[in-house]
Amino acid sequence: MSATPQFSVIGGAAVSEVLDGDPQRVIDVVRRAYLTHGEQQSVNPPSYFLRFPDRPDSRIIALPAALGGDFGVDGIKWISSFPGNIASGLPRASAVLILNDHETGYPFACLESSIISATRTAASAALAAVQLHADRDRPRSITFVGTGLIARYIEKYLAAAGFGFDAINIFDTSAEYADSFSGYLSGLGRGAKISVLPDAETAVRASELIVFATTAATPHVHDLGWFDHNPVVLHVSLRDLSPEIILGSTNIVDDVEHCLKADTSPHLAEQRVGNRDFIDGTLYDVIEGKVGIPQDKPVVFSPFGLGVLDLAVGTTVFSEATRRGLATRIDHFFHDLSRYA
């Protein structure tokens, strides 16, 4: 930073323009962030949940973090989840990301972050899918349980990571949303057979790779037998699977301490058995070859979503948006910079 701190705002259109162009680069950035975090060059304290007694299904979450290594940035994501928005046509989530200078602590940018959040979630899921299939054949069928914005981003990033499917299966408790997602996928021209399936069991049994991207607050899938074909499960929404399914699977998380809280499915499993022995490792462990992935059990990846990933993607967006002239600098944002006027 210069001697006089500067502050910029980067809106959603600029964020989208930067991120749309090179999904593989974003996956690489997320991979580097996981490696930096796994090498303990980060600070990622617990997320703080602001909840409302009069709106129990809604929340706003603060994710503070500091990311070292090549990134050298601190900051916080402030993201709201209001499921009721969907009924009025608005996305469920909205967010901002504040980036702070590593040396002075001064905030230097505010970025629209719902796109960054969805992108880092999708890139994380795609990276996990690649790593978890390192020793097994790539899947030729995929099921999406939940068909919102996150499902759309995950499909995009799986394609960018080289996944191609003969069959794409869809299930959503809303037939309208399922049909809309089917129409969206058909318009992409991926060449896969797209099917909207009538129930969750049929959808789970239909595919080798399963993506849960719902707004479920409590487990709604309870039968381990649905997973007898030993699929890889990207459990992005974290609360879909019963403890029995978690305990009967190989479990990979992004961060053990973060994932086993807030009544996620792994947290419920921990409460059931009183230990964490069912956690086989983190995605960092898989990337580094410290954990092998068996093929005779379902494999569940449960990513709580780390603030360091938002910082990694956000600082990448900031650098590129600034280079392209897409950042709006707010002159004199910091006014009183002298200790003694």
Beta strands, E only, the chain: 8-10, 42-43, 48-51, 59-67, 73-81, 93-101, 107-112, 141-145, 167-171, 193-196, 209-212, 232-235, 250-253, 279-282, 299-302, 328-329
3-state class (DSSP) for residue 169: strand
CA atoms of 312 and 294, how far apart (whole Å): 31
Considering the domain architecture, whether residues 57 and 155 belong to the same structural domain is answered as no
Domain interval for residue 197: 125-302
What residues are paired with 234 via a beta bridge? 211, 301
Considering the domain architecture, whether residues 313 and 203 belong to the same structural domain is answered as no
Per-residue pLDDT of the chain (341 residues; tens, 9 = 90+): 446 899 999 999 999 999 998 999 999 999 999 999 999 999 999 999 999 999 999 999 999 999 999 999 999 999 999 989 988 888 888 999 999 999 999 999 999 999 999 999 999 999 999 999 999 999 999 999 999 999 999 999 999 999 999 999 999 999 999 999 999 999 999 999 999 999 999 999 999 999 999 989 999 999 999 999 999 999 999 999 999 999 999 999 999 999 999 899 999 999 999 999 999 999 999 999 999 999 999 999 999 999 999 999 999 999 999 999 999 999 999 988 887 86
Considering the domain architecture, whether residues 259 and 169 belong to the same structural domain is answered as yes
CA atoms of 110 and 206, how far apart (whole Å): 43
Q: Are 170 and 238 in contact (CB under 8 A)?
A: no
Considering the domain architecture, whether residues 315 and 247 belong to the same structural domain is answered as no
Considering the domain architecture, whether residues 100 and 188 belong to the same structural domain is answered as no
Considering the domain architecture, whether residues 135 and 284 belong to the same structural domain is answered as yes
Considering the domain architecture, whether residues 208 and 90 belong to the same structural domain is answered as no
Structural domain count, the chain: 2
Considering the domain architecture, whether residues 75 and 202 belong to the same structural domain is answered as no
Model pTM?
A: 0.94
Considering the domain architecture, whether residues 143 and 288 belong to the same structural domain is answered as yes
In 10 A of CB 174, how many CB atoms? 13
CATH of the domain at 102: 3.30.1780.10
Query: Cβ contacts of residue 128 below 8 Å, gap of 6+?
Result: 234, 252, 283, 286, 301, 303
